[in-house]
Amino acid sequence: MATHPQLPDNYVLNSSETALLVIDMQNGFCSLQGSLGLNGVDVSHMKATIEPVKKLIKSSRKAGILDAWTIQEHYPDDVTRKNHRIIPHTLRFGSGPAALAHTWDSEVVDELKPLYIHPAEEIRKHRFSAFFDTRLDTLLRMKGIKTLIISGVSTSLCVETTIRDAYQRDYDVIIAEDAIATDSVEAHEWSMRIAAKYFGACMKTDEIVGLIEESMSVAIHE
């Protein structure tokens, strides 16, 4: 049985009611040749999440846990950027927004592409949260999901906003802290402290894989 300070005693993951969210693992954010990297952003921490995320996906698939991947998309002719009187984040850094729709920048990183196939569910989004104006919440409710495992980039933007929105919708949240990153270790750590204090259980990937494997063992013996 799991022993973790943020989980109840004898906690056992229910794999049939759990989904893995893979947030924005795209070239624009995780590749050295992506738009963030080319604009001088340190993407090394985000790139380092690829292997932990891969481990979570493979483990989830073995247990029959749904994996839902978000794809962040921006459009060059998005008039909402021009409507801001205060400069939006997409225009504050570098040459413009990353992950423009229908470009290499918006594609899933090569290392994860072999897994970006059925049964993966694709959730396209245009804002930080995986829930905002997307089909995600409907999909999860249709599948009877109550617990979300969160992974991906970047910590204090799309990931943290999604964590908060998941908690607001009464999902239990398990946060894979080493399968999540941003360009700043300090920003990542602060975000994880807040998440661990208020919104869910922050755990290492290997701990989460242990929960997943334990859930499979329990299911076999039921």
pTM of the model: 0.92
pLDDT value, residue 5: 83
* 10 located within any domain: no
Give me 112's structure tokens. Answer: 């994860």
In our burial notation (b when 16+ CB lie closer than 10 A, e otherwise), range 128-164 reads bbbbeebebbeebeeeebebbbbbbbbbbbbbbbbbb
CATH of the domain at 76: 3.40.50.850
The amino acid that residue 51 corresponds to is E
Nearest CA among 40, 42, 36 for reference residue 188:
42
Identify whether 2 is part of a domain.
no
DSSP H helical ranges for the chain: 27-30, 35-38, 44-47, 50-62, 79-83, 136-142, 160-168, 185-198, 205-221
Is 58 among the residues known to form the active site?
no
Look at the chain and report how many structural domains it folds into: 1
The catalytically annotated residue of 30, 67, 125, 202 is 125
What residues have CB less than 8 Å from 22, skipping those under 6 apart?
A: 53, 56, 57, 67, 68, 69, 70, 112, 120, 151, 152
Per the annotation, the verdict on 197 as an active-site residue is no
Q: Given 54, 158, 172, 202, which residue is catalytic? A: 158
**Hey, CA dihedral for 94, 105, 102, 89, is it positive or negative?**
negative
Residue 161 lies in a domain: yes
Q: What proportions of the chain, in percent to the nearest 5, are helix, strand and coil? A: 40, 20, 40
Q: Give me the tens of pLDDT residue by residue for the chain, a chain 222 residues long.
A: 566 888 998 899 999 999 999 999 999 999 999 999 998 999 999 999 999 999 999 999 999 999 999 999 998 887 877 777 777 776 666 667 888 999 999 999 999 999 999 999 999 999 999 999 999 999 999 999 999 999 999 999 999 999 999 999 999 999 999 999 999 999 999 999 999 999 999 999 999 999 999 998 876 555
With the C-alpha atoms ordered 132, 196, 25, 22, is the resulting torsion angle positive or negative? Answer: negative
Is 128 part of any domain?
yes
Residue 133 belongs to some domain of the structure: yes
Sign of the C-alpha dihedral computed for residues 189, 4, 13 and 213 taken in this order? positive
Backbone phi, then psi, for 15, in 5-degree steps? -65, -30
Residue 5 lies in a domain: no
Non-local CB neighbours of 26 within 8 Å, separated by 6+ positions: 34, 71, 72, 99, 105, 106, 107, 108, 109
CA distance 7 to 106: 36
- Give the domain range for residue 120: 16-221
- 3 in a domain, yes or no? no
Residue 115 covered by a domain: yes
Is 55 a catalytic site residue?
no
